Structure formats: C-alpha cells, structure tokens
Amino acid sequence: MPYKTVETGEFAGWLCWADDPFESHAGPYYFREDEHGPVAAFRARPHQMNGAGFMHGGCLMTFADFALFALAQPDLAGDHAVTVSFASEFLAGAAQDEWIQARGEVLRNGRSLVFVRGLVTAEGRACLNFSGTIKRVAR
Amino acid sequence: MPYKTVETGEFAGWLCWADDPFESHAGPYYFREDEHGPVAAFRARPHQMNGAGFMHGGCLMTFADFALFALAQPDLAGDHAVTVSFASEFLAGAAQDEWIQARGEVLRNGRSLVFVRGLVTAEGRACLNFSGTIKRVAR
Amino acid sequence: MPYKTVETGEFAGWLCWADDPFESHAGPYYFREDEHGPVAAFRARPHQMNGAGFMHGGCLMTFADFALFALAQPDLAGDHAVTVSFASEFLAGAAQDEWIQARGEVLRNGRSLVFVRGLVTAEGRACLNFSGTIKRVAR
Amino acid sequence: MPYKTVETGEFAGWLCWADDPFESHAGPYYFREDEHGPVAAFRARPHQMNGAGFMHGGCLMTFADFALFALAQPDLAGDHAVTVSFASEFLAGAAQDEWIQARGEVLRNGRSLVFVRGLVTAEGRACLNFSGTIKRVAR
C-alpha cells in the first residue's frame, strides 16, 4: 500500500506516504479527504525554520510538491506519477507551531499529464501559491 | 557572520549557512566560489530520497532555493533577501551517493529585486532547471 | 485616463486600456467588474489562431498578462505597475469564435509587489492557469 | 512545409512559420541556425509596444513561445508539439527599433516531453528569462 493511516497524536486518522524518506524527514506531511475535498497539512516545527526564524521556502515547496500528489490522488487512481514542472510565489512567512495547510484542485486530468494548482496557508493566511504538472509513469 | 567554513570531510573549505535549521536538516548543502564563479553542491544521501529510490523533488527544490542565494551572494553584498517567486522543471532523477551541483547566474541585479537562474546536475547530468526572483529586505 | 469604456458591440460597457498598441493589436481585450469581482474577456478571432487552428499560446499569455492588471485594478488603486514574473500551464485549446474569459484573485497586495493568480476559460472550459507577480513603479 | 524562407529585407534568409496567423500578426518573428546554434529574432515595431512605450510583455512571451519551438526544431525532427507549461521573468524593457533575439537550449529531449530554456535580449541586454515544457503530439 502506498500510504498508511496515522494512529495517534494531532494527525490521527490522516494519511501519509508509507515509505518516503525525505517526506518523513522534511515533514512529516499528512493528507486526507474531508467534506471540501483533499487537504494536506502539518504542524510547523523547529527543524523546518530558516535562519530568520520563519519556515524555510524549501520546506514550503517540499510540502507543496507533496500536496500536488495528495490533491491528485483521486484522479491518479493508483497510478504512479512524477513532477514535471513546478511554479510558486511566496506570499507571506509561516512561523513555528502554526497549522500549515494546502488545498487546491486538479485543473485537468489528461491521459499522460495532470495539472494541479493550490495554495498553502498558515493559520488561514496565504503563504505560498503553487502550480505543478505531474506525469503518469509506468513503474 | 551569516556563513561558516566547513573544516573536515569531502566539503572541507566550502561554506554553508551557519544557522539555518532546515538547510542543515534537509541538506546540508554547501557553496564556494571557484574559477568559474559561485557553485553550490552536496552529496546525495539516503534521507533525501523519495519512495521510488530517487532524490525527492522537494530536496532538489530546497537545494535550488539555497543555490539562488549562493549564486547571488556576490551581488547581494551582505544584504538580506527573501525568495519571491520560483519556477522549475524536473529533467531527470538523481540517485543516492551522486554528486549534486548547481551553477547559474544573476540575470539582473536590481535595486530591490535580483533575478537568478541555474541548473542542478547529478554527476554532470541535468536534473533540475530553476529560476527565481529574490527581494532585498531590511532586517 | 488609463482606460476607456467601449460604446458599441458585444463589449459595450466593458473597459479597455485607452492607449496600449499591442493589446489593441493582439486583442483587443476587455475587462469590467461584475457581482463576482473583476473579469477580463474577449471573443476569439481569426488573427489569434496558430497554425493548427487553435488559439496561439502567445495570445492566451498576452491576455493573461492583461488580466493580471485587470484583476489587480482595485488593489493598484491607480498605481502604475509592471510584470516581474509570470508562470502558466496550458490546459486545453481554445477555438475561433469562443468566449474567452479570465477570473482570479489578488493573493497578496504588498507595498511593492502584488501577487495575482487566475484561470482563463473558453466557453467555461479551463484553458490556461496563470500566476504573476507585478511591481508598483513610479512613472 | 511547416516554415518558409524570407526572401527580402533585413531577415532575408531567415525562416518563419508559413501559416501561423497570430505569429504573423504579433510578430512576425524569425529563426535560423548559425554557428552558435538556433537563434530567433525580430525587430521591435510600434504595434508591439505597451502604453508606456516599451515592448508589451505579451509580445515578449509570444516571441519566447515561438522561440521554444525554434530552439527545439533540431530535436523535434519534424514532430508536432504543443506548449505544456511556461515560466518567465521580466528583466528589463525593450524599446522600438531594437534588435530582439532569443537563444537557449534544449535541456532534455524526452520521448514525450521536451524541456527548453532561453533568454530574450534587446540589443544584447537581457530582457526576458524563459523556460518551457513542450509535448509531442500526433496530428
């Protein structure tokens, strides 16, 4: 199975990829589906900050890359896929202990390419706008 | 001082930011200036891989974000700056133990905005094309 | 005055920039504010097609660039601004005679930079996802 | 034949697409191969300017989209292709009568996707950095 359900703590009931070393290390990041559709989230922790005390842009982009796949899960329907292109704008900083969340939508689910866009927020404040193209691959 | 010199190991003589938790955690990543200009690099390690055994896109983008500032160091001349926008294309995978490197150039060093583009390679193979806009800030 | 009101035809009551040669030539493109906020639109015409008979990507991007400013009009409040960065994904083609429209939102209205994202549709079908950073300038 | 050779004027000997209405209308834009590889170019004319008297960003992006395909011509080897994603940064303005040129390179020529990046210059001054992903299609 490509993902597992978290059993305890703040994210009990959420899913995360079962075996992705960098996502566990940089995150961990979580996702689930609620009444508004797929949502990805995590709680900002000290190892994710930059030298100025705000969340590192690389952590936000890693989470956004994770979110591309979380948001596309229903459309991918089990297919493997890789990121082809990624674009983002940094709107505001995020601070330690804040609730970081991403929502968005699949704009087109093509035969080969899936187009996704989303917005990362910190306690509801827009932090990172992102869009990405992912490509189905045989594994 | 914003950065420190590595004293031992494969990257002895290279620089890294002295106090950036996420870059130390996701990387560490290094930079220096050689006869061709600024260069950023690291050695691919197990915690940077994804579930398919290749380098996670988030690790590549975190390194590229690091590289934006490494490449702009001479132009920033000590100014603080933040990433405003970032775009990238994923060209090929990178594998554990490979030498990952970024080179590139400042395309415009404006009063407020600095425009940078670069290419991440793995053992010389093009992996990630990236461009970013960074903005000088008072701290 | 930076824009004028169209007096006749399908776009009577819409606005367009009064003196922008390329937008008149490539478009013309129009905008107004309705009950859902700012909206930009035009009717696809023969000179906007590519060699395959669909709307040229450059026409879609020119319209998206126009739309960045139309969508940001209320936030710019008369300030002059220029595009700093632009990213887009091409989701589907648009055909001659279709109604092409863009909606979107200002994600952050900063002191210097304004961040905008939007979606171009053709007869309601998603065609181009776009985001851009624009910068206030003194003129 | 998808392109024709210009016979007279400043661009005699250059190529342009034979039947692309918007490129003829917004441009025309030209390309050829010289000793440094593929190059695209045009001469800035009044209809390509914006309201401030500089080249419109949409004209620069339309030219960059044209250049993606011009730069990829040798790699496409006659295949048809469409733009999938496009990213750019605006570095400086271009003025009427200036010589506008784009050079760049194919970063990866995949089975389905071709990745290209380039730089538009005006009289040698960097104006627009761009990268794009194009996709081979059957027609």
Mean model confidence pLDDT for chain A: 95
Band (A139; pLDDT cuts 50, 70, 90): low
Chain B residues inside the 8 Å CB shell of A131: none
The DSSP code for A49 is B
Please give, rounded to a whole number of angstroms, the shortest distance from the CA of D129 to a CA of chain A: 14
Nearest CA to D1 among D78, D82, D114? Answer: D78
CA–CA separation, C5 and C19 (whole Å):
12
Listed as ranges, residues in chain D with pLDDT below 50 are 1
Three-state SS for chain D is CCEEECCCCCCCCCEEECCCHHHHHHCCCEEEEECCEEEEEEECCHHHECCCCEECHHHHHHHHHHHHHHHHHHHHCCCEEEEEEEEEEECCCCECCCEEEEEEEEEEECCCEEEEEEEEEECCEEEEEEEEEEEEECC
Chain B nearest-CA residue for C137? B112
Strands (E), C13-139: 15-17, 30-34, 37-43, 80-90, 99-109, 113-122, 125-137
Looking up residue B40, the CATH number of its domain turns out to be 3.10.129.10
Q: What range does the domain containing C23 cover?
A: 3-137
Chain B nearest-CA residue for C136? B112
pLDDT recorded at residue B139: 65
Q: Are B15 and B3 in contact (CB under 8 A)?
A: yes
pLDDT recorded at residue A1: 47
Band (A36; pLDDT cuts 50, 70, 90): very high
Please give, rounded to a whole number of angstroms, the shortest distance from the CA of A87 to a CA of chain B: 4
Q: What's the pLDDT tens digit per position in C89-123? A: 999 999 999 999 999 999 999 999 999 999 999 99
Q: Residue A2 above 90 pLDDT? A: no
Domain count, chain C: 1
Chain A residues inside the 8 Å CB shell of B61: 58, 61-62, 65, 86
Q: Could you check whether the bond before residue C38 is cis, i.e. omega within 30 degrees of 0?
A: no
Q: Which two tokens stand for residue C5?
A: 């009101």
φ and ψ of A50, to 5 deg: -100, -170
pLDDT recorded at residue D40: 98
Mean pLDDT of all residues in A51-73: 96
Residue of D16, D54, D62 to mutate for C, most C C-beta atoms under 10 A: D62
pLDDT recorded at residue A100: 98
Q: What's the pLDDT tens digit per position in A72-116? A: 999 999 999 999 999 999 999 999 999 999 999 999 999 999 999
Listed as ranges, residues in chain B with pLDDT below 50 are 1
Q: Which two tokens stand for residue B67?
A: 């590289």
pLDDT recorded at residue A30: 97
CB contact under 8 A, A61 and B61: yes
Candidate from B108, B129, B133 with C-beta closest to D126 = B108
φ and ψ of D66, to 5 deg: -55, -45
pLDDT recorded at residue C138: 81
CB contact under 8 A, B87 and C84: no
Please give, rounded to a whole number of angstroms, the shortest distance from the CA of D19 to a CA of chain A: 28
pLDDT recorded at residue B1: 47
State the ipTM, two decimals: 0.96
Mean pLDDT of all residues in C84-88: 98
Chains linked to B by 3 or more Cβ pairs within 8 Å: A, C, D
Q: What's the pLDDT tens digit per position in C30-49? A: 999 999 999 999 999 999 99
CB contact under 8 A, C90 and D82: yes
pLDDT recorded at residue D58: 97
- Cβ–Cβ contact B113 with A under 8 A: no
